[in-house]
Structure 1
Amino acid sequence: MSDALAGLAGAGDIGNVAGSTPSPGESAAGEMRSRFWARLRRNKVAMAGAAYLVLVVLVSLFAPLLTPHDETFATRFQDILFSPGDSGYLLGTDHVGRDILTRIFFGARYALIAGAEAVLVALAIGVPLGLTIGYFRGWVDRIVMRFVEIVVAVPAVVMAMAIITGLGTGLTNAMLAIGLVFSMIITRLTRAEVFAAREEFYVDGAKASGASERRVMWRHILPNIAPPLIVQTTLLFAQAVLAEAALSFLGIGADASQASWGRMLRDAEISIDRTIWPAIPPGIAIFLTVVAFNVFGDGLRDAFAREARGGRVGVGDVIPKERGAAAAPPRPPGGGDPLLSLRGLDIVFPKPGERTDMTVVQNVNLDIGRGEVMALVGESGSGKTITGLSLMGLVPDPGQASAESIVLDGRELVGMEFNELRWIRGREIGIIFQEPSAALNPAYTVGRQVAEPLRVHLGMTKREARERVIELFTEVGIPEPDKRIDAFPHQFSGGMAQRVMIAMALSCEPKLLIADEPTTALDVTVQGQMLDLVGELARSRGLSVLLITHDLGVVADLADRVAVMYAGEIVETGRLAEVFAAPRHPYTEGLIAAIPRNEPRSGDLPTIPGVVPPPWEWPDRCHFADRCQYEAVECRRGPVELRAMGASLTRCERSHELELQGVEHAAAVGVAGWEQSSGGDEPG
């Protein structure tokens, strides 16, 4: 389980801000285990089920010590059918005078043993078989799956009865039969999970390192598909307890000498015309045990999948907060109202290994004008991607976004109901993700995926949507669109897959396009094509664009205005030409100096010393001070607010006295000039 938990960490900018990076002194696996158990403990229903199951285990282990009677004590005809409490029998007696409470205690043993036998048989057969046919596929997979479908189509108890006919009656044979039936369920689940996992890059990496097929399956794939198997195991345990009771009630499971709960129900049938009581305790025991396994399995599923929120609102919701006195960024040129106005955005995530929250984006303000390209720039881990996702209410769980206001074309998005926000997504705001191979569903053709928003938002028929998709593919430069429309994502190169993502984002003609590092995974030539395409489409359609990137060269090609982000804060914002010519923050100066140029250079490439610190290490003062060459005493006195400097805003205590160098100076002095001005620090 620990390997499976360790494999659940996120990746990319979202993973960084979500706390998937282990804190100092704590491994990633340990952190994920800690968060898993914290999520599970907060699920009260699941913990109640777990507590009951622990009680059942303890009762089964210490049954001889909990009652003065033994499991098969002699029949006492003088004590037949005593009511609860009579003659010291807390739950009464059955039709031959046996203590019902004693049999309930010992029956817990048979329930657990029966469930364990069935589940172990199912796992021993189903996991290796599912791994093998899912990994190698081919004709063996087709034959095995036809057999699996036949077995699964028949109710488990009925199929088990057929198997018992050949094996003979008895509790062990009955649970072996149940285990054989359950193994088909495990086989099907394992195969489905392997189908998805075998296409992941870590599998290719293991193969490239020389790992054998067996090692790839058991050491790389199996730990990553363990969570659904663990959840399914708990659910099958519940079904096994129920199946054992059913088979014992029918007389082909536990025999008369075994105090199985199912056997107790069978014995209670003999005296049903005199009293129904002997059937009630075993019935309740079976019911509670099955429910406990089910709710515990549901809790495991939720703990593996998502962080429990407690009192928080739904996933992705942006909740309102009180308005503050933070300075507003300058309005776009022309004096008109912006298309998008964001005020006071905060995003928090749980701190790794703790129950407290950490702020990963704080007090972000942005304005994007109509038809304007706003670039949000900064190093990886600064919070750019998570800021863009928050505009669509897509902050990943367990994060929580709050804002004073997010106004899109006059409509307030903060506090908007889910169904209302769903119509905003895709229709008024489109998004291009940085990894098209991960964003496109491998199970569907690209044409079907691009057509989906057209049918959902615009109500097009299937034929109309197909024709429109072909037009979009032509517009974004996909050759032979009438043929490529029926291809799957894996049949596209990285550049072509990104063109599909652009077509999908533009399909409903949104007003705002969020481009999240759209050229990250592409080579230089294709990057240029993508940038030209985005710019041309933005101009021809009058789109507003939020361009998220860490490449200032990209910004120079497309943007009208720029917002520089560092460690969860906007440190500078203004018109592109003004920020590039005369930056007001040392971080912006460092980014400009590091822009690659087509000119002769000597020495090392310019860099900013150090790296962006993780959110749990952000100080309650200037976040950039530890990396800044201009750091002074006033920089460490406390938080630094945005302040106006001409038409720009900056978050620097010394902005009024510093003369920072922009693009022209950096191009003139090259690396040597930056090294001299920075004191010759080693590159970070």
Structure 2
Amino acid sequence: MTTTDIRVAFDRAKQRRRSGLFRRFLRHPGGWIPLAVFVLIVLVGVFAPLLAPMDPNFVDLAAAKAPPSAAHLLGADSTGRDILSRLIYGTRITIWGALITIVTAVVIGVPAGVATGYFRGPFDRIAMWVSDALQSIPGMIILLVVAAGSRNNFELLMVTVGVFMVPGYFRIARSQTLTVREEPYIDAARVSGLSDARIISRHVVKAVYPPVIIQTALTAGMAMGMQAGLQFLGIGDSNVPSWGAMMLEGFRLMLTYPLMLLWPSVALGLTIAVLAIMGSTLAELAQVRTPRLRRRRATAAALEAATTAAPATGTVRHAAEGSVLRVENLRVSHATPSGAVEVVHGVTLDVAAGEVVGIVGESGSGKSQTVFSVLDLLPSSGASTADAIRIAGHEVTHASPKQRQALLGRELGYVPQEPMSNLDPSYTIGHQLVEPLRRVHGMSAAEAKARAREVLLRVGLSDPDRVLRSYPHQVSGGMAQRVLIAGAISGRPSILVADEPTTALDVTVQAEVLELLRELQQEYGMALLIVTHNFGVVADICDRVIVMRGGEIVEQGDVDPLFAEPQQPYTRELIAASLDDAAGRAELDAVGGATLDDDAAGATNATNTTEVRA
């Protein structure tokens, strides 16, 4: 098998994983067979008046305890009522009761779980306490009290059962939301200006609904069993035909007329069994589909570096008037089991209109935490304070999240690192570029698509229509980074923040992306703030550089003077490390240059600039 064959097979495997959960469910024998049986059971309940041979409550004393015959296919009960008719009508009441239970549990549990998982805060703790309390309450005692108080009102009883099922849905929805909200593509959607409601409806719900569907299949069986149990205890209207009431009567006559107990038991057992099989199959298929999610980049290493690195001092150079970003005395801390740990200590910085500024430092220096504070992307454990934060003339120091979000995508664009992680694998690239333009900038569908094509062409993608139709896994890493850049500039922001924009790319593509960012900055006249650990990137593109260590600015200034005469030992070490790395790469290039012919070079370049795979 050639490399191309392996690649094609890999792409097909990924496409199979991307196919819909329910499409694969319908192709699985453990899916479509029990689903067909369950649909048949539901249809029997829906069309009970047409399918039942007689009125389920018609009494024929002459046929009491009659065995199966042409007149009564499954026999008759102790009062002569037709068992088949009562069984068919019992299907209707069983399905209806399960539906009431599921709707109650889903309507209460899923929104509460999504809201608490996404927003956290005090409401999350209260909701968890209520969930624990519901699980600790003896449900059967409450049901008996409700039955006595409502005179055996069937609907109210099933609503009560649904309330006791709420914790299952709540915990599933909350758990899934907590995981998804840490995905980089959620941050990218937030920085593009999409509202929390839109992010939840388009990105979070997409991840929540598969386990909710699985839970529903299992909950339906539990609801049917509990409903039958209540009716078996004599709770409910005895005149309403139900499987539980039939089982109660059959139990009383079990020694003299066992057929009475057989038929409703088979019906209930079959229905619960097919629901359990469907739930099990869905769970198996969902496990194959669920991606391995990444956590936010606020790592323990950053906290450790912030607490151990020795702070240094430096002269702060203020940008000229007309700055598009101004941060004064910014402090960032993270909650830990041993208490709050401060990772950024009083940082002040400016970025002037049309200026390219680089924030450089080693891992754990606080550079990304500084930027995340401005972008409002700190994790739930993080908190920031500042004397002033101004974005494009807007004071946002004490602004609400909604007010600050109104600037995202309009005045402030964001290009994250790890391009593949910042694109939602569930949607096409076109959808992810067009949606912010429509929701944030109020464009029509046609205008948004035209703008998306325009920016894709501008970032060097020659076939924008195919890119728009593609899913993230169908493009290369370099193309994905260009897509993120296109999305960031599509709203024509005043300042573009690029967080390690070339880290995940090879050397050739890195140079192309840096050149592209510089061209776009000059063409659109926007400011550019680049976060990096590489002084080579700073030298290549920046006008001014800010050096951070241990959560503080140790030195800053224009690029050329700072490179010529760095004032701080730490700055000299970083520059020396970058020069050593550059020298090593130049030596490798020199060795390779003697043997690399033109055809090989062209093949290498074609590989690095590959667009969408067909």
Cα shift at 1:191: 3.4
Q: Do the aligned partners of 1:453 and 1:507 also contact (CA within 8 Å) in 2? A: no
Q: Do the aligned partners of 2:318 and 2:349 also contact (CA within 8 Å) in 1? A: no
Label 1:178 to 1:399 Cα distance change in 2 as closer, same or farther (>3 A).
Answer: farther
Range moving further from structure 2, 454-463 or 471-480: 454-463
CA distance in 2 between partners of 1:423 and 1:548 (Å): 23
Per the normalisation by structure 1, the TM-score is: 0.46
CA distance in 2 between partners of 1:530 and 1:497 (Å): 11
| Residue 50 (str. 1) matches residue 141 (str. 2) | no
Q: Do the aligned partners of 1:559 and 1:576 also contact (CA within 8 Å) in 2? A: yes
Residue aligning to 2:288: 194
Residue aligning to 2:529: 546
Alignment of 1:310-329 (within 5 A): 329=316
Residue aligning to 1:381: 364
From 538, 556, 561, the counterpart of 1:578: 561
Residue aligning to 2:436: 453
| Residue 350 (str. 1) matches residue 444 (str. 2) | no
Alignment of 1:204-223 (within 5 A): none
Residue aligning to 2:325: 340
Cα shift at 1:392: 1.8
Residue aligning to 1:181: 275
CA distance in 2 between partners of 1:593 and 1:412 (Å): 39
What amino acid sits opposite 1:194 in the alignment?
V
From 317, 329, 354, the counterpart of 1:330: 317
What whole-Å deviation, never above 9, does each CA across 1:475-522 have from its counterpart, x for those lacking one? 000121122211111000000000000000001000010100011111
Residue aligning to 1:260: none
Cα shift at 1:427: 1.1
CA RMSD in angstroms comes to 4.4
Q: Do the aligned partners of 1:390 and 1:401 also contact (CA within 8 Å) in 2? A: yes
Residue aligning to 2:489: 506
Label 1:200 to 1:544 Cα distance change in 2 as closer, same or farther (>3 A).
Answer: same
Q: Do the aligned partners of 1:451 and 1:469 also contact (CA within 8 Å) in 2? A: yes
Label 1:153 to 1:459 Cα distance change in 2 as closer, same or farther (>3 A).
Answer: farther
What amino acid sits opposite 1:329 in the alignment?
V
What amino acid sits opposite 1:539 in the alignment?
Q
Secondary structure of the residue aligned to 1:596 is helix
Range moving further from structure 2, 553-562 or 47-56: 47-56
Cα shift at 1:584: 1.8
Alignment of 1:78-477 (within 5 A): 157=223, 168=262, 178=272, 181=275, 184-185=278-279, 187-188=281-282, 191-197=285-291, 329-332=316-319, 335-351=320-336, 353-354=337-338, 356-477=339-460
Q: Do the aligned partners of 1:342 and 1:405 also contact (CA within 8 Å) in 2? A: yes
What amino acid sits opposite 1:196 in the alignment?
T
CA distance in 1 between partners of 2:316 and 2:497 (Å): 19
What whole-Å deviation, never above 9, does each CA across 1:335-379 have from its counterpart, x for those lacking one? 42311110111111112x33x211121211110011001101111
Residue aligning to 2:208: none
Q: Do the aligned partners of 1:437 and 1:497 also contact (CA within 8 Å) in 2? A: yes
What amino acid sits opposite 2:417 in the alignment?
Q
Label 1:427 to 1:186 Cα distance change in 2 as closer, same or farther (>3 A).
Answer: farther
Secondary structure of the residue aligned to 2:491 is coil
Per the normalisation by structure 2, the TM-score is: 0.51
Residue aligning to 1:9: none
What amino acid sits opposite 2:290 in the alignment?
A
Range moving further from structure 2, 470-479 or 167-176: 167-176
CA distance in 1 between partners of 2:324 and 2:489 (Å): 17
What amino acid sits opposite 1:428 in the alignment?
E
Q: Do the aligned partners of 1:375 and 1:563 also contact (CA within 8 Å) in 2? A: yes
Label 1:395 to 1:474 Cα distance change in 2 as closer, same or farther (>3 A).
Answer: same
CA distance in 1 between partners of 2:584 and 2:417 (Å): 32
Q: Which runs of 5+ in 1 are unaligned?
A: 1-37, 61-90, 95-110, 124-144, 202-223, 225-325, 602-684
What whole-Å deviation, never above 9, does each CA across 1:638-675 have from its counterpart, x for those lacking one? xxxxxxxxxxxxxxxxxxxxxxxxxxxxxxxxxxxxxx
Cα shift at 1:196: 2.4
CA distance in 1 between partners of 2:284 and 2:384 (Å): 36
What whole-Å deviation, never above 9, does each CA across 1:204-229 have from its counterpart, x for those lacking one? xxxxxxxxxxxxxxxxxxxx9xxxxx
Label 1:490 to 1:52 Cα distance change in 2 as closer, same or farther (>3 A).
Answer: closer
Range moving further from structure 2, 475-484 or 488-497: 475-484
Label 1:170 to 1:485 Cα distance change in 2 as closer, same or farther (>3 A).
Answer: closer
CA distance in 1 between partners of 2:127 and 2:272 (Å): 28
Cα shift at 1:556: 0.2
What amino acid sits opposite 2:286 in the alignment?
A
What amino acid sits opposite 2:410 in the alignment?
R
CA distance in 2 between partners of 1:336 and 1:150 (Å): 60
What amino acid sits opposite 2:275 in the alignment?
V
What whole-Å deviation, never above 9, does each CA across 1:620-654 have from its counterpart, x for those lacking one? xxxxxxxxxxxxxxxxxxxxxxxxxxxxxxxxxxx
Residue aligning to 2:549: 566
What whole-Å deviation, never above 9, does each CA across 1:519-566 have from its counterpart, x for those lacking one? 111100000000000011011111111100001000000111111111
Cα shift at 1:383: 2.0
CA distance in 1 between partners of 2:521 and 2:351 (Å): 13
CA distance in 2 between partners of 1:189 and 1:40 (Å): 32
Label 1:173 to 1:482 Cα distance change in 2 as closer, same or farther (>3 A).
Answer: closer
Label 1:571 to 1:149 Cα distance change in 2 as closer, same or farther (>3 A).
Answer: closer
CA distance in 1 between partners of 2:289 and 2:408 (Å): 30
Residue aligning to 1:478: 461
CA distance in 1 between partners of 2:281 and 2:335 (Å): 36
Label 1:148 to 1:196 Cα distance change in 2 as closer, same or farther (>3 A).
Answer: closer
Q: Do the aligned partners of 2:314 and 2:553 also contact (CA within 8 Å) in 1? A: no
**Identity across matched positions, percent:** 36
Q: Do the aligned partners of 1:40 and 1:47 also contact (CA within 8 Å) in 2? A: no
Label 1:481 to 1:180 Cα distance change in 2 as closer, same or farther (>3 A).
Answer: same
